[in-house]
Each structure stands twice: as structure tokens, then as C-alpha cells.
Amino acid sequence: MKLAAIVFLPFIGAILPLLLASRPRLHSTVSAAAITALSLVILMVAATGTFAGATPTYFLEWLPSLGLHIAFRLDGLALLFAGLILIIGLLVIVYAHYYLSSKDSAPRFFSCLLLFMGSMLGIVTADNLILMWFFWELTSISSFLLIGYWFHQSNARRGARMALAITGGGGLALLAGILLIGSIAGSYQLDVVLASGELIRNHDLYVPALILVLLGAFTKSAQFPFQFWLPHAMAAPTPVSAYLHSATMVKAGIFLMARLLPVLGGTPEWTTIVTLTGLATLLFGAYFALLKTDLKGLLAFSTISHLGLITMLLGLGSVGAVVAAMFHIINHAAFKAGLFMIAGIIDHETGSRDMRKLSGLRKALPFTMVLAVITSAAMAGIPLFNGFLSKEMFFAEAYDQQLFGGLSWFIPVLATLGAMLSVAYSVRFVHDVFFQEEATDLPKKPHEPPLMMRAPVIIFAFICIAVGLAPMFFTAELLTLAVSAVSQVTPQLDIAIWHGFNMPLLMSALALLGGIAIYIGRSELLTFSRQFDARDAKDIFARIVSATTRFCDEFTQYVENGSLQRYVAFLLVFTLILVVPELVSIMQLEGSRPQLPIDAISLIGAILLMLAALSTAMLHRQRLTSLMMLSVVGLIVSLSFVHFSAPDLAMTQLVVEVVSIILMILALFFMPQRIPRASSGRRVARDVLLAGSIGGIVGTLNYAILTRPFDSISNFFLANSVPGGGGTNVVNVILVDFRGFDTLGEIAVLAIAAAGIHKLLNNLRPFMPSSDVDGRPWHRVKHPLMVQTVAQALLPLALMVSAYIFLRGHNLPGGGFIAGLVTAAAMILQYIANGVDWVKHRFDYNYQTLTSVGVMIALFTGVGSWLFDHNFLTSSFTYVTWPLVGKFELATAILFDLGVYLTVIGATLMILANFGQMTTRHRPRQEGY
Amino acid sequence: METLYAITVGTLTACSVFLILRGRSFPIVIGITMLSYAVNLFLFSTGRLVINEIPIVGASENTTDPLPQALVLTAIVIGFAMTAYSIILAVRVRGEIGSDEVNDYNYAEQEGQR
């Protein structure tokens, strides 16, 4: 629980500064600092367990099916990193309070910083690889917010985007690597993964997994060739740089390599890739740090260089190398955070970070100068400062390895060269800025900053000296824990300033002398390097990004070109691609079911149906003809339902057919009258081919189904229809009883569609032609007398028929759906014959209400069964004897069917009456006659 | 008979797909309507073809499968709702933008694709 609290406190606390946004800045600072301090205290408490030799863990099952759990552990490695994150975080918060100008939004800054802090803590304490990855990506996102904090500056935005693209992209590679590791090890829990190192290293997928994980680590830790995002991230406010580039963001990659060293490390692949990448980064960073004129640029490249050093040590992988790596992580965090803060102070006080302008600041900023000398000395690796010790250990490890056989000597040589460069840029940092003549053209006149702004730097400088003088006293215990977590053995630590005259000491001396020599000869170096055209990584990156965007744009343009026809065609082609292989793979098309003989009626019907369908398609440009053909199709479909023993369907289809054709004729009135152009031959050929293939596939499927014997679940319905539902018409009993819930959903859909149509017709100003396409005006007689008379006579008859169909529905073909449609059709006939006004005058009823009442009745019939302690929609029935009628069944299902009946009437009339009204309400004026 | 039925359903599907691939809303609505007929026939036939029977208990010796019929019955009604909705949508679009073409305005493939 404590561990979860450490991680989640900053996340929860991130909201505090925002809540205090209207208060003075001090409130946000204090709230952020308090959260950090609280987290730190909990960490201290939890750390007692770690120091006692145990590994405190926290486990909460989250998504067991994915192997993802909220699991944290606090071993030595996690403790080392978590401590750095929280302590430096706290100091950065204090520093930022003074650094941010009054125009900057401090609450937003602290909120993002806390988010970032929580994500980092999550990475280092996670006990589950996927959870760790989750936090890993969170750091990418929160660092994006921090780097782009000054979002009004274009270089901040660009730097943030680049950092996000590179580290986020690396994160995806890492995810792939983690998934591979997890599938090999069988779990994402860290203890399982750590225990199955042998298995993973011998697996076929080891190399892909290693490369993917390293891609994640190298991008995050700005290793060559992914180093270019880090200098551009310097567009961030300096406290952010101090935090991200000393102890946190870039160390996440280092952490990952250290964490997985027992699993992935020790193989030739690991050693070669990681060591050489580290070495290349070390040299590359150190060289460019020397050339940079921007203070923060110098520090950025020096960070890259030091990260390379740590990476190289992890690549070597021996216990001594791991000790040196862990020790250097602490040391680098201390002096680099201090140096960034000093750069921030200089920037803050002088208004410039350009080392060509800055010089001779020793008089104006004497105190800052002392701090700068201390931290730079630590960075350069001068004796008595902490950097010296870890650099000595680095030299010793570089000297001791025998990785490259006869060529192994080049590693210590290049390491010494790197250290020389490191000395040179450290000297440059101090000498260029604080010594030489006093600068006169600075934007601001410098003064010492407030004490509290210097205080964090003082603490860092103190750490540099204290660790440098008494390394064992301050760090031995923590280092032992951290190293044993990585190397799985308890190391014998022997860190001392003086080990006698040996090779590492000689290398240190060489580095110091060489470094000073390089600094003195730096103008030559600058001239030399000027020959190469400065190729900015930003431009290359921008070019890649714009090329990718262009490609995506073109692809989208091609696929999504605004043609709906094309989209439909794509979907259909995709369907074919999915279905065709399946059909090819069935052994035999024809099944074993005995087939029916073809009778003459069926044959004629089928031929008519096909002819009508083909005519509908071919004559589609003559819309009325096409519509008439469609109605033929619908009629024959309902006849085939009759033929194939489905009377209910036949009746439903017949009435629906009539109603939809009326609707479409109405719609035709509003459609353009001109006959549209014919499609091009190419397109027709394409569509015929596509349609033919789909039709062929559907027909084949249907044939395959029809000829196969089957075992239906319907026997249950047939057996229980009378005893359970009280009706002999099984179709109707299924609708209102067995599957009543489905029917309820269906009438709800019908009602919703009707409501949608009602809304669509609202405020519609349709195109209404005042004459037909040849200019002939519409006929004057709207409602012919013959139709009027017949329609009025038909209405009571139709109502009676529908009542009959409704009542008998439970036992014989019929029911609510059909009866509702019959009633609706009879009503529509009145509208056609007599017009909307006439009907409205006699039957002024709101169809929306009717529809809702219908759905309500159906719903409450279902709810009613709760009153009798039954499940929703349980029906009950009894038989009563009526005079004249005889024995009659009374079932609650009939109430439900009544709901269906009313809904169908309401919805159908809502659609048609509303739509029909459009033609009468603003009927165009008739001229001529 | 099964062959004939399958061919009919296939033809119906092919014709309706062809209509759905047109560039004007009215043929598309007709196509959708016809496709729903084809789909209903298809679904109905999963109960296999039976002649001269009735899904009513006690009315005949071996009753047909009532389940596909119940499903198709509601499908017909819902299909009507969908047809109605799409046709009204087409009318609305025609009222709003003055055209019944379904392709984007900017779609400028000049090959008479209507």
C-alpha cells in the first residue's frame, strides 16, 4: 500500500496546484513541494524494509487475463532511482518557484511536473513489465507537456514534438520487446521474468526482443544515433531541463537496461551493442559539448556523453561495472542538476545563455561562481569531487575488459579521449563564463539571485564534495542494495580516493592534462569543425516527418476521396476477400439433404422474380418504372412466403410492400426529375463484376445451407408453445412470449426510426416541382371521387379485418405486427384519397403519442410480471367462455401484442402522414389550368 | 427447387448490390430495399424449404421451423423502418444541398460515374 501511495500521490497531487491557481504562487509551490515531501517520507518508511534485506512489494490484480497487474516493488535499484527522483524533484520545485517569471503559469508547471514525477516513480517501482511500460509512455507524454511549457515559442513546440515522437516511438518498440519477453517467460511479473533469464537468452526470439528493448532504452536515454532530440528539448524552462536531464527522463533508459541486465545481459550481442553504442555516444556528446556556444547546449551534450558512459558500463556488465554505473548515476544526477540550475541562474540574471557574450561574471556572481567551480570539477572528474571516483572506476573497468580480443586496447584509449573532452568542456564552462574580461553588452545587469534559488545548488555542490570525500560513508549501503538488485550478488565495495599508483590514476591524469590542452587549443578545433556544414538533426527530422505526413495524406486522399461509391466498393471487395477462401475450403458444395422437386408455379415465380429484379437494376434511371419493378419483386417475395409455408411472413411482407412503395412514390416527387447521366462503361463493368461476385457468393452460401440437414432449436418452441405460451401459432408465440424481449427492442427501434424521420422532416424545405419533367402541370383534381368513395367504404372493413387478425394471432396466422400494418394501410388510403386536412379534421390524433403509448404498454406488460414475482415478460393465460364466440383464450401476451399493434400503427402513420403533409402544406401554385 | 431458390436469392442480391453502387440516392434506396428482401429470403431459408405446411401446432404432421419465420417477421418491419429512414434522409439531403448525388462535392473524378 505504501508503494502504491508513493507512486499515486504525485498523480493525485497534480490537481492541487491547479486548484490553488487563483492564489499567490507560493501556495502552488508549497502544495507541490508538500506532495513530493510526503511521497519522500513514505519512501523513507518503506525503505527501512529494503535496508533490512527484504523487498517490499505491493500487488493488486488488475487485468489478469492480460497478465497486467498493479504491482510495485522497492528493491535497491528502485530505491536508488526513486530517491533521486523525489529529492531532486523537491529541489527543482523550490528552484522553479524563483525561476519562473510572473508571466508564466506556475500551477500548470507544477502540475505537469508532478505528473511527470509520478510517471517516473511508476517506471522505477513497477513490478510488472506492462505496468512499467504504461508509466514509460506517461513520462513521454508528461515530458512533452513540460518541454513545450512555453508553447508560445515555436522551438519549444518543435522540441516537445520531437521528444515525443522519438521517445514515444521508442516506447512502442519497447512494448513489442516486453511482449516478446513476456511470452517467452510466461508472465510479465518482474520476479518471474528475472528468474527466467536463462530461458530468454537461449530463446530464438532473444535477439529481436533485445533489439526492441534496446531501441526503447536508447531513444529514451538519447543514445547515438537517437541523441538529437535531447539538445532540442533544451527549449524547456531550465528547471525542467535540470530535472529531466539529470535524474529522471533520460535515466529511464538507463534504468531499463539495469533492470533487464540480469535477463538480457551477459551475451555477446548485449555486450557488443550496448558497449559500443555507449562509447560512441560518450565521444559524440563530449565532442559536440565542446563546440556548443549555448550554455544549456553544452550541458545537453555533456549529458548525452555521460549517459553514454553509464550505458557503456552497463554493456560491460561485470559487477564492478555495475557498481561504477550506479555510482555514476548518483554523481551525475547531483552535479548535472546543479549545473543546469547554475545555467538557469546565469540566464535569469544576465538575460543570455550565449557563451560568446558571457564572460567575467566572477565579480557580479561570486557565489554562483564557487558553486559552478565545484560542480564543474565534479563533472570533469577532478580528485576530491564525486565525479572523480566514478570516473576512476570507469577507467578501471574499461582497462580490465577483454571483450574485443587483440583490439581490446582501443576501449580504454577512447575512454580516456572522452574524459579529456569532458575536462575540456568543464573548464570551458567555468572559464568562459566567469573569467576573462567582464562582459559589457549583456541584456541585464547581473546580481546574485535570491538565496533560496541558490539553495538547491548549494545542496548539490555539498553532495558533490561530501560524496567525493567520504564515498563509502554516504553511498555504500544504497549502492550495495542497488547493485545486488542488478547483478544478483552482493558486491564488495571498495570506493576510495587513493588506490595507489595504478592505470586508472594515470588515465585520470592524462585526461586532466589532455583536457586542459584541448581547451587551450580549442580555437583550432572550432576552425576545423567549421569545415563541415552544420547539418541540424532538426531539419532531417522535419524532413522525415513531412515526408511521412505527405505519404499519409496521399494515401488518405486515394482511399478517402469523397466518393461514397468507392467506400462501398471497398467494403464489398473486403467482404469477398474474407468469404471466398472460406467457401473454397469447404469440401463439397452440395449437402446430403434430399431436395424438393421444382414445380411449375415455383419456376414461373422465380423467373418473374429474377426478371423483375434485373429490370429494377437495369431501368434504375427511369425511376418510376424501376419502382414498379421493385413492387413486383416485393409481391413475388410475399407469394414465395405463402408457397414455402410462412403465412405470417406473407401477410407482413404484402402490407409492408404496399406501404413502402407508397412512401417511395411520395419521395419520388421530391427527387430531381431529370434522368441522370448514364455511368461510364468502365464503372458499369466494375459494378456488374462486383455485384455479380457478391450475388454469386450469396447464392452459393444459400445453396450450401439449403442442401444440408439441420438440427433446429425450434423443437423446444414447438413443444412448449401450447403448454407454456397458450397459443398454437408458434411464430406469434415466439414473438410475444419466448422472445418477447427481442420484440420489445424491435418496436423500440421502429419508434426511434419514426421519431428520427419526424425530426428529419422538421423545417425541411423540399424541392417541389410545379410540373412534370415535360412542363405539364399537375392535375387539378387532387382527390378523385371514386377513390374517395371506395376508401371510405373500405376503412371499417379494414379495421374489422385487422381486429380479427389481431385477436386470432395467437393461434392462427396474424398478430400485432400484421394487424397494425393493415390498420396503418387503411389509414394511409384515407390520406391518399382525401388528403391530410380531411383526415386531420376527422381523426385528430397525435401519432407520436400513439407510438409511445404502444411501447409503454408492451414495456409495462413485461414489468407487470414482476408484481407476481416472475421474470420480466413472463406471460400467463387462461381460457374464458364468451357467449357467441365460445371458448376464448385470454393471455397477458395479448396485452403485449396490443403494444406492438399500436406502435406499428403509430410509427407507420407518423412516417407517412408527416411526409405526405410535406406535399400539401406548401403545395406549389398551379398555373395554366 | 433448392437450386432455383439459391439462384433467385443470388440474382436478387447481385441486382441490389449493383443498385447500391450507383451515385444517386434514389437507386441506392431501391437497392437497399431489394437487398433487405434478399436477406429476408436468405434468413427465412435457414429453416429449409418446406411446402404445404404451417408453423401451427396441431395443424399438420411435421410443422416447419418457426424460429426463422419469427426473426424474419420482425426483420421485415425493421427493414421498412430502415427504408423509410433512408428515403427521408435522401429527401432531406436533396432539400439541404439541392442534389441527390451521394458523392462528396469536391469529388471530381470526371468520368461520368453517375
| Inter-chain touch A649–B102, beta carbons under 8 Å | no
Residue of B3, B25, B26 to mutate when probing chain A, most A C-beta within 10 A: B26
With 70 as the cut, is the pLDDT of residue A618 above it?
yes
With 90 as the cut, is the pLDDT of residue A485 above it?
no
Please state the rounded mean pLDDT for residues B40-66: 82
| Inter-chain touch B73–A649, beta carbons under 8 Å | yes
Please state the rounded mean pLDDT for residues A723-727: 78
Please state the rounded mean pLDDT for residues A257-284: 90
Chain A positions touching B37 (Cβ under 8 A) are 633-634, 637
Please state the rounded mean pLDDT for residues A118-128: 93
Q: What is the CA radius of gyration of chain A?
A: 41
Chain B residue closest in CA terms to A570: B21
With 60 as the cut, is the pLDDT of residue A887 above it?
yes
Distance from CA of B67 to the nearest CA of A (A): 6
Predicted local distance difference test score (pLDDT) of residue A819: 93
Distance from CA of B92 to the nearest CA of A (A): 7
Residue of A568, A664, A706 to mutate when probing chain B, most B C-beta within 10 A: A706
Please state the rounded mean pLDDT for residues A921-927: 46
> Binning pLDDT at 50, 70 and 90, where does residue A885 land?
low
Round the average pLDDT of chain A to a whole number and report it. 87
| Inter-chain touch B87–A707, beta carbons under 8 Å | no
Predicted local distance difference test score (pLDDT) of residue A621: 86
Chain A residue closest in CA terms to B72: A649
Chain B positions touching A670 (Cβ under 8 A) are 91, 94-95
Chain B residue closest in CA terms to A722: B57
Q: Determine the Cα–Cα distance for residues A135 and A71; give it in Å rounded to an integer.
A: 12
Please state the rounded mean pLDDT for residues A442-452: 81
Predicted local distance difference test score (pLDDT) of residue B41: 94
**Minimal CA–CA distance to A235: which of A154, A170, A304?**
A154
User: Higher pLDDT residue, A141 or A436?
Assistant: A141
**How far apart, in Å, are the Cα atoms of B103 and each of B19, B25, B93, B111?**
15, 10, 12, 13
User: Higher pLDDT residue, A882 or A256?
Assistant: A256
| Inter-chain touch A735–B66, beta carbons under 8 Å | no
Q: Determine the Cα–Cα distance for residues B23 and B16; give it in Å rounded to an integer.
A: 14
pLDDT (tens digit, 9 = 90+) per residue, A66-86? 888 899 999 889 999 999 999
Determine contact, residues A104/A47, Cβ cutoff 8 Å: no
Please state the rounded mean pLDDT for residues A336-349: 89
Place of cell 377513390: A787
pLDDT (tens digit, 9 = 90+) per residue, A190-226? 989 988 888 999 988 999 999 999 999 999 998 888 8
Chain B positions touching A851 (Cβ under 8 A) are none
Q: What percent of chain A has pLDDT over 90?
A: 34
Predicted local distance difference test score (pLDDT) of residue A365: 85
**Minimal CA–CA distance to B66: which of A746, A656, A713?**
A713
Of A663, A688, A907, the CB nearest to B18: A688
Which three three-digit cell numbers place residue A363? 565579480
Determine contact, residues A3/A125, Cβ cutoff 8 Å: yes
| Inter-chain touch A698–B100, beta carbons under 8 Å | no
With 90 as the cut, is the pLDDT of residue B10 above it?
yes
pLDDT (tens digit, 9 = 90+) per residue, A825-836? 999 999 888 888
Determine contact, residues A914/A761, Cβ cutoff 8 Å: yes
Give backbone dihedrals phi and psi of A771, rounded to 5 degrees, phi first: -155, 170
| Inter-chain touch A664–B100, beta carbons under 8 Å | no
Please state the rounded mean pLDDT for residues A847-870: 86
Determine contact, residues A830/A839, Cβ cutoff 8 Å: yes
Instruction: Confirm or reject CATH 1.10.3470 for domain B1-112, answering yes or no.
Output: no
With 80 as the cut, is the pLDDT of residue A188 above it?
yes
Predicted local distance difference test score (pLDDT) of residue A534: 63
With 60 as the cut, is the pLDDT of residue A928 above it?
no
| Inter-chain touch A667–B100, beta carbons under 8 Å | no
Predicted local distance difference test score (pLDDT) of residue A813: 85
Of A597, A647, A757, the CB nearest to B54: A647
> Which among A176-180, A475-479, A723-727 has the top mean pLDDT?
A176-180
pLDDT (tens digit, 9 = 90+) per residue, A620-668? 888 889 999 999 999 999 999 999 888 889 999 999 999 999 999 888 8
Indicate the residue type of A603. Answer: L
SS3 letters across chain B: CHHHHHHHHHHHHHHHHHHHCCCEHHHHHHHHHHHHHHHHHHHHHCCCCCCCCCCECCCCCCCCCHHHHHHHHHHHHHHHHHHHHHHHHHHHHHHHHCCCECCCCCCCCCCCCC
Indicate the residue type of A19. Answer: L
Which three three-digit cell numbers place residue A726? 397458450
Distance from CA of B35 to the nearest CA of A (A): 10
pLDDT (tens digit, 9 = 90+) per residue, A314-342? 998 888 899 999 999 999 999 999 999 99
With 60 as the cut, is the pLDDT of residue B111 above it?
no
Of A568, A664, A761, the CB nearest to B21: A568
Chain A residue closest in CA terms to B1: A598
Predicted local distance difference test score (pLDDT) of residue A310: 93
Determine contact, residues A197/A262, Cβ cutoff 8 Å: yes
Of A634, A699, A739, the CB nearest to B9: A699
Of B52, B84, B100, the CB nearest to A663: B84
With 70 as the cut, is the pLDDT of residue A706 above it?
yes
> Binning pLDDT at 50, 70 and 90, where does residue B107 land?
low
| Inter-chain touch A620–B30, beta carbons under 8 Å | yes
The dihedral sign for the CA sequence A794, A799, A800, A806? positive
| Inter-chain touch B18–A652, beta carbons under 8 Å | no
Q: Which region among A107-121, A366-380, A759-773 has the lowest average model confidence (pLDDT)? A: A759-773
Of B8, B41, B67, the CB nearest to A734: B67
Residue spans of the domains in chain A: they are 278-526, 729-928
Indicate the residue type of A198. Answer: E
| Inter-chain touch B105–A746, beta carbons under 8 Å | no
Predicted local distance difference test score (pLDDT) of residue A711: 81
With 60 as the cut, is the pLDDT of residue A472 above it?
yes
Tell me the whole-structure pTM to 2 decimals.
0.67
Predicted local distance difference test score (pLDDT) of residue B105: 62
With 50 as the cut, is the pLDDT of residue B113 above it?
no
pLDDT (tens digit, 9 = 90+) per residue, A520-550? 888 887 787 777 766 666 778 888 888 999 9
Chain A positions touching B58 (Cβ under 8 A) are 722, 728
Question: ipTM of this predicted complex?
Answer: 0.92
With 70 as the cut, is the pLDDT of residue A926 above it?
no
Distance from CA of A28 to the nearest CA of B (A): 52
Cβ-in-10-Å burial (0-12, 13-18, 19+) of A34 comes to middle
Residue of B17, B50, B71 to mutate when probing chain A, most A C-beta within 10 A: B17
Chain B positions touching A609 (Cβ under 8 A) are 8, 11-12
